[in-house]
Amino acid sequence: MLLDSGADAEAKDNQESTSLHLASAFSDAGMVSLFLEHGADAKARDSEGSIALHTAAALGKTSIVQALVDVGSDVNAPDANGETPLHVSAGCGHVEVVRLLLDNGADLSAVDKEGRTPAGCAKLFGHKEVEQCISERR
């Protein structure tokens, strides 16, 4: 594979997305782990201030979220809009990712630049199961 031949695991595209961001969106946990083993930075931010955990959380990729959390990815990292991975997973209705993030210390009271909490994002987009999950954790 290219990584074994010295390819840069931290190469970025024109939106500052790293290979890890792209693997989090378009691949599986095995590929994400491979990039991490080759030095990909789980804290690297794209042009919108998102880390790979935001990407995986928004897409409901539970196994990738777990892999990123396992290497210390910050479950409370805000993007440029102040949204944490919990905000984006709640707003997208991914209840299993919401549970996983909460189990790993995600902050229920985090507020984005619009003044919304993760529960507010779930409510805004009509994700009742996520709202219920969050209310059980308070």
**CB-count exposure of residue 113 (10 Å: 0-12, 13-18, 19+):** exposed
Give the mean model confidence (pLDDT) for residues 92-101: 98
Distance separating alpha carbons of residues 75 and 79, to the nearest angstrom: 11
The model's pLDDT over 36-50, given as tens digits with 9 standing for 90+, comes to 988 889 999 999 999
The model's pLDDT over 38-82, given as tens digits with 9 standing for 90+, comes to 888 999 999 999 999 999 999 999 999 999 999 999 999 999 999
- The total of other beta-carbon atoms located within 10 Å of residue 77's CB is 17
**70-74: which pairs have CB atoms within 8 A and are 24 or more residues apart?**
71/36, 71/42, 72/42, 73/42, 73/43, 74/43
| 7 pLDDT above the threshold of 60 | no
Domains detected in the chain: 12-137 (1.25.40.20)
The model's pLDDT over 125-136, given as tens digits with 9 standing for 90+, comes to 999 999 999 999
The pTM for the full model equals 0.90
